[in-house]
Structures are given as C-alpha cells and as structure tokens.
Structure 1
Amino acid sequence: MKLKQDDVILFIGDSITDVGRNREDGYNLGSGYPLMVAGALSARYPELQLQFLNRGIGGNKIGDLKERWETDCLDLKPNVVSILIGINDTWHAIGQDKFATADYLDFFEATYRQLLEDVRNQLDAQIVILEPFVLSEPIDRLEWRKDLDPRIQIVRRLANEFATDFIPLDGLLNEMGMKTSYAYLTGDDGVHPTTAGHGIIAQEWLKRVD
C-alpha cells in the first residue's frame, strides 16, 4: 500500500474497530488499533498530513455495514478503506437455526462482495481486509468454528478476488496466544482485543504500508 499527500484512511467495522470512540466527534479514533495506526503513520509520514477516520460500531454485522455503507464509507471518499467485520455474524447466531447454514454464509459473502464492488466502482481507494477471528479460550469458543471458519474462508477468497491488502488475524492471533496466553490478547471473551491485541493488529496493518 502506498500513501500520498492528504490521503483519508477509513477504518470501519464492529466493536473491535469502535473501541469506545466518541461518535459525536467524527474525527475521534477510539482507543484501539485505528488510533495506534494513525499515530504511527502520522509520525512516520508527517509531510503527508494524513487524515484518519473511524466508523466502527459495536455489535455490527455485515448487514448493518451495508445499511450505512453510503454514509459511513462512500460519502467520505476515503483513499484507503480498512474493513474488519464478521465475528458478530457468528456470535449473534449462536443457538439459532441459521448458525453455520449455507444460506446464512451465502448472505455474508454476497453482501461483503457488494460492499467491495461499491468501493471499487465508486472510489479510487485501496482496500485493506482484516479477517474476523476468535481465540481458543473460553473453551466454548471452539464451537463457533463451525460458522466462523467458512466465514473466514469467504473473506480470504474476497481478498484474493479484489486483490486487496489482507491481514490473516485469526491464525496470527491464535498462534501468538499459544506462545503467551489467549487472555493476554483478548481478555476473557476471546474476541475483544486487549492493548496487546490491538498492538499486534496495528503492527500487522503497518506492515502493509510501503
């Protein structure tokens, strides 16, 4: 990924991106990986005067993202669109008939593809896709794999199809969790990153910048 003068970098997704941002302040970045990336890039390239926006909203699924895609993405005319979405599509379906069904996964893929096509057709923007993830503790998170693993494969296919920058967070964070501890990276729920977890995500994001 190459950045240029006055580029607008948009982070969009769910609570993992939101991280307590003040939604009344359009320039507030929250306290997670978007803030870390913004700080690092601003220090690395002060002459570019980059602008950073966070439009993560806690609890969002792919359908929620679609509903606000025009307002929170296309209308902002970003030069870089960074997307992390999908864990709530799994989490919110636990115990429901649609969990891990072909129709439910097909909806995810079709909707995600439409969002990417909108960016490609309406913006001159680079895309960064971060795959959804869940760590292996608490132990019941292993059951989530029935729905999440095919969802991750969908995201990987789309990243390849649209030739985006891609960050394979699920494998990366689980491997790191085995070396340290899962709780060190995502606290007690296997989903929401700690400061260390956000730091790793930011570090991987920054590796995609030339």
Structure 2
Amino acid sequence: MLIEKNSIIVFAGDSVTDADRNYDREPGGWDSWGHGYVTLINDAMTALAPQLKAEIINSGVNGDDIKLLAARYDHDVLRFKPDVVTVMVGINDVWRHFDRQFQHWNQPKVEPAEYRQIYQDLIDTTKPHVKEMIIMSPFMWELNHDDPMRRALMAYQDIGKELAAQNGLLYIDAQAAVDQFLHQAAYFVATPDRVHPSEQGAMVIAKKWLDAVGFDWSAQ
C-alpha cells in the first residue's frame, strides 16, 4: 500500500474536495473533512486501517481554479508537512468559460496553456517535500463527449495525465470511475448539477482513490 504508517495526507482542490468542510475546525480534526469523498476516505482509513494512524487533511476551497489554489498552496498544503498530497483541480477552470460567458470585467479565465504551466509549478514546488504526489483528474457526470463543457474539460484532463506521466506521479482517472457509474445509472443519482457529487457520487470518487493507493478493504 502506498500509504505508510503515521502519514499525513492532504487533499487540495475546489468545492468537490471542500464539500462544505468546517473552516472553524482544526485541520485533520473532528468535522473538518466536509461531506464528500475526503470524509469517506478518512472513514475508510480510520475504520479499516486504524493501525496506519493516517491523518487526513481537507484543504479544498470552494470556487478554486488552479490559480487560486496555487496562491494559497503554501498555507493550505505545504505548512502541514504532508507525506502525501493529492491535487484535483480544473473543473472551475473549465466552468468559468461557461457560467460567466457574459461577465468580462475582472473575470480572467484560465486557458489550457496557463493551466499546464501553473500545474507544473505546483509539481515542482511539491515533489521535494513529500513522499508521494497524486494527480486526480477533474470530472463531470456527463458521458457525451460532444457536450461543450465535457469536451472542454477533456483538454484539461489530458494535461493532468501528461504531467503525471512526465513527472513520475500517480495519476487517478476519476472521470473513468464516473463514466463507469454512468453506464449503469442516471447522473441524477450521483449529482444535482453534473459537477458536485452527492454522497453516493462521493463514494465513487473515494473508492477510486482508495483502490489506486492499494487500500485493503478487508477489516483489520
């Protein structure tokens, strides 16, 4: 298993990661994990692998694109001296091209080239300080590749996958897990808006991450 004993694991991202976490609580403490995939990962690690004594910290921030995430990265991620960092960011970088089409003043949009450069900078900043950095793809609960937003998102997903390969990082294809689910059930079971997961949708993402790091699902 990739996670070693006493590991500090930080999850960085946007509202999908944030999932209404309580900012007033101590990071890694009670009620600090939100109601999404991070809390489900924490539940599994605590209940099924208590011997690892892993500490899970949710540093997701609602509304973040990659520029906003990078601006807070030292405070939100590196100050915890993590052993493992998972970054999932990009859906807002894409969404702003669609939900703010009629807003132009003070609404800069992150294009793929800038996304790639900032992501590489984050990787360069992170790798010297951690044992593992994981890139998890942003995703949509949408199977149609001709859907304009899904088509745009695929370019950002490809960048994350390419950067993971180039930098020797674990890449977790969350979109693949979402697509597998959508071949079996309608999206409204897992999300109200094709982006933010319900509790059921969060389980899809949590299981994908746990499987990718080699989590043993048999109770210890």
Q: TM-score, normalised by structure 2?
A: 0.85
Residues 10 and 73 in structure 1, CA contact (< 8 A), matched pair in contact too: yes
Secondary structure, counterpart of 2:62 in structure 1: coil
User: Cα deviation per residue 1:138-197 (whole Å; 9 max; x = unaligned)?
Assistant: x8x91113421111110110111122222212232123113111111222x100001111
Bigger helix fraction: 1
- Number of positions where the alignment pairs a residue of Structure 1 with one of Structure 2: 203
Residues 11-160 of structure 1: pairs in structure 2 closer than 5 A: 11-25=11-25, 26-27=27-28, 28-94=32-98, 95=101, 104-121=111-128, 123-136=129-142, 142-160=147-165
For residues 51 and 151 of structure 2, what CA distance do their matches in structure 1 show? 47
Structure 2 runs not aligned, ≥5 long: 105-109, 215-220
> Greater shift after overlay, 2-11 or 148-157?
2-11
Structure 1 runs not aligned, ≥5 long: none
Residues 177 and 205 in structure 2, CA contact (< 8 A), matched pair in contact too: no
For residues 186 and 163 of structure 1, what CA distance do their matches in structure 2 show? 32
User: Cα deviation per residue 1:45-79 (whole Å; 9 max; x = unaligned)?
Assistant: 21221111001011100000110011111111101
Residues 8 and 54 in structure 2, CA contact (< 8 A), matched pair in contact too: yes
For residues 111 and 195 of structure 1, what CA distance do their matches in structure 2 show? 31
For residues 74 and 96 of structure 1, what CA distance do their matches in structure 2 show? 36
Over aligned residues, Cα RMSD in angstroms?
Answer: 2.2
> Greater shift after overlay, 45-54 or 162-171?
162-171
Per the TM alignment, residue 31 of structure 1 is displaced from its structure 2 partner at its CA by 1.0
For residues 113 and 160 of structure 2, what CA distance do their matches in structure 1 show? 12
Residue 179 of structure 1 is matched in structure 2 by 184
Residues 173 and 185 in structure 1, CA contact (< 8 A), matched pair in contact too: no
- Overall identity of the aligned pairs, in %: 28
